[in-house]
C-alpha cells in the first residue's frame, strides 16, 4: 500500500514498484491524480487516505500489509501513517530524511512496535540506506578495532536537483534539534556542529554534520563504536546558514513554527519536480571511513549511484517487494541491515543501481 502516491516522489515509487512486478494500492487524498496515475501504470487499485482524516488510513491497515509512505514533510505529516502501522502490527517503510522524525521512530515508536509486532523501516531512501550500507561494509573490513565511523553523502551535478517538497522540508526543519553519537550513546547536538571534507569525484567536498539513521544502525553492528558522524554535502548551505543559531532558538516553539511558515512562502511558486535534464546528469556519492582509537583509517568504502529520487524509488520498491515475499528479520525500529542482512542489502542495492567502488 503506497500512501502519498499522487506526489512527485510517490509517483516515482509507484512506477518503480510496477516495474518490479508489484501491484500497489495507491493511497492519497486527490482522487483525480490517483486515478490518472493508476491508469497510466496499468489499472492499479486506489483508495482515499488523508493525514487530516486519521480514520481514513487507520481503518485500512492490517497486520499483513506493507505500508510505504512518501507523505512529507514527515516531521509534520508523517505521524498518522506510522501510528497506523504500529497499531496494526504491519510493516512500514518511508522516504523520510528528517532527523527529528527518524529519532522519534527509533526512540518512541520502535519500543511500542516491538509490542504489537510491527516492523518500522524509516529513512529507506537515497541518503540513509547507502550510508548504512557503506558504513556496514567499512566496519566489516575494519574489524573490531574500529571505534569511529564517518559517513559523507553527496550529490554531484548542475542545475535544480531537488524537488519543492525537499526544499520545503530542509527549510522547515532548520531550527529543529539534532543529535550525534558520542562516547557510545546518542547526544543532543545542533546540525552543522562539525565540518569536514571528503574526496569525492576527484575533488575535496565539504560536508556538515547532521542527525541520521546511521547513528542508530551502525552501533548495533559494532557495539564498540564510540562515535558515528554523518555529513551532508549538497544541502550544506541550508544547514550552515542556520547552524550558528539553531542551538539558541531550536527549542523555542515560535521560532520553529516561523521556519515552517517561511518554508511555505519560499517554495510556493517552485515547480514540484526537479529539472529533468539536471537529474539526468546527477550522481549520488557516499563515503564511509572507519577509524581506530588513534584516528587511523582502517577501512574506506565508496558507493556511487544514479540521481537521488530515482534511487529512493528503486530502494523503496525493492524493500517493499522483499518484505512482501520474505518478510523482515525482527520487529520494532529496524535499519536496512538489521531487516534484511548485509548480503541481501548488497544485492538489493545493486539492483537499485548502487555500485561499490571500494
Whole-number pLDDT of residue 237? 44
Whether the predicted pLDDT of 265 surpasses 70: no
Q: Residue 104: which residues within 8 A CB-CB, separation 6 or more?
A: none
Average confidence score pLDDT of the chain: 88
Whole-number pLDDT of residue 296? 98
Degrees (nearest 5) of the Cα angle 116, 122, 128?
150
More confident residue, 9 or 158: 9
Whether the predicted pLDDT of 241 surpasses 90: no
Other CB atoms within 10 A of residue 19 CB: 12
H or E segment and range at residue 52: none
Whole-number pLDDT of residue 72? 85
Whole-number pLDDT of residue 339? 97
Alpha-carbon Rg for the chain, nearest whole angstrom, is: 19
Boundaries of every domain in the chain: 2-125+310-340, 128-308
| CATH 3.40.50.300 is held by the domain 128-308 | no
Phi, psi for residue 313 in degrees, rounded to 5:
-60, -45
Q: What is the pLDDT of residues 44-81, one digit of tens each?
A: 999 999 998 889 999 999 999 999 999 988 988 999 99
Average pLDDT (266-291) is 79
Q: What is the pLDDT of residues 125-145, one digit of tens each?
A: 998 999 999 999 999 999 999
Q: What is the pLDDT of residues 90-132, one digit of tens each?
A: 999 999 999 999 999 999 999 999 999 999 999 999 989 999 9
Q: What is the pLDDT of residues 283-322, one digit of tens each?
A: 999 999 999 999 999 999 999 998 999 999 999 999 999 9
- Confidence at 240, pLDDT banded by 50, 70, 90: very low
Q: Residue 307: which residues within 8 A CB-CB, separation 6 or more?
A: 155, 157, 161, 279, 280, 282, 283, 284
- Confidence at 37, pLDDT banded by 50, 70, 90: very high
Alpha-carbon distance of 118 to 358, in angstroms, equals 35
Alpha-carbon distance of 52 to 68, in angstroms, equals 18
- Confidence at 248, pLDDT banded by 50, 70, 90: very low
Whole-number pLDDT of residue 161? 62
Alpha-carbon distance of 268 to 331, in angstroms, equals 39
Evaluate whether 2-125+310-340 and 128-308 have a shared fold. no
Whole-number pLDDT of residue 177? 77
Whether the predicted pLDDT of 225 surpasses 80: yes
Phi, psi for residue 2 in degrees, rounded to 5:
-110, 110
Asked if 99 and 176 count as a contact pair (C-beta separation under 8 A), the reply is yes
**Weakest-pLDDT range from 153-162, 169-178, 249-258, 272-281:** 249-258
- The architecture of the domain spanning 2-125+310-340 is 3-Layer(aba) Sandwich (3.40)
DSSP assigned state of 24: P
Amino acid at each position: 500500500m503506497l500512501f502519498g502516491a499522487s506526489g512527485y516522489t510517490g509517483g516515482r515509487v509507484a512506477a518503480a514498484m510496477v516495474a518490479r512486478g508489484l501491484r500497489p494500492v495507491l493511497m492519497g487524498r486527490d482522487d483525480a491524480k490517483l486515478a490518472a496515475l493508476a491508469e497510466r501504470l496499468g489499472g492499479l487499485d486506489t483508495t482515499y487516505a488523508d493525514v487530516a482524516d486519521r480514520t481514513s488510513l487507520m481503518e485500512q491497515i492490517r497486520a499483513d500489509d506493507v505500508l510505504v509512505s512518501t507523505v512529507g514533510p514527515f516531521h509534520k505529516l508523517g505521524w498518522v501513517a506510522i501510528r497506523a502501522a504500529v497499531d496494526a502490527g504491519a510493516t512500514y517503510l518511508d522516504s523520510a530524511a528528517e532527523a527529528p522524525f527518524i529519532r522519534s521512530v527509533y526512540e518512541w515508536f520502535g519500543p511500542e512496535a516491538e509490542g504489537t509486532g510491527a516492523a518500522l523501516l524509516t529513512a529507506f531512501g537515497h541518503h540513509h540506506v547507502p550510508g548504512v550500507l557503506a558504513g556496514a561494509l567499512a566496519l566489516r573490513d575494519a574489524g573490531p578495532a574500529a571505534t569511529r565511523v564517518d559517513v559523507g553523502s553527496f550529490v554531484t551535478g548542475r542545475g535544480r536537483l531537488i524537488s519543492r517538497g525537499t526544499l520545503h522540508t530542509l527549510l522547515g526543519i532548520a531550527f529543529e534539534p539534532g543529535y550525534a553519537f558520542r562516547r557510545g550513546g546518542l547526544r543532543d547536538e545542533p546540525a552543522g556542529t562539525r565540518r569536514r571534507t571528503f574526496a569525492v569525484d576527484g575533488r575535496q567536498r565539504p560536508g556538515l554534520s547532521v542527525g541520521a539513521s546511521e547513528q542508530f544502525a551502525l552501533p548495533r553492528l559494532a557495539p564498540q563504536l564510540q562515535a558515528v558522524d554523518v555529513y551532508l554535502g549538497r544541502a550544506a548551505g541550508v544547514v550552515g546558514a542556520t547552524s550558528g543559531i539553531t542551538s539558541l532558538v531550536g527549542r523555542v516553539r515560535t521560532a520553529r513554527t516561523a521556519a515552517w511558515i517561511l518554508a511555505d512562502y519560499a517554495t510556493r511558486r517552485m515547480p514540484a519536480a526537479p529539472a529533468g535534464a539536471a537529474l539526468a546528469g546527477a550522481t549520488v556519492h557516499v563515503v564511509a571511513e572507519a577509524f581506530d582509537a588513534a584516528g587511523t583509517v582502517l577501512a574506506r568504502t565508496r558507493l556511487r549511484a544514479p540521481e537521488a529520487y530515482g534511487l529512493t524509488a528503486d530502494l523503496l520498491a525493492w524493500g517493499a517487494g522483499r518484505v512482501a515475499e520474505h518478510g523482515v528479520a525482527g520487529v520494532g525500529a529496524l535499519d536496512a541491515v538489521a531487516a534484511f542482512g548485509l548480503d541481501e542489502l548488497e544485492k538489493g542495492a545493486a539492483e537499485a543501481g548502487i555500485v561499490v567502488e571500494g
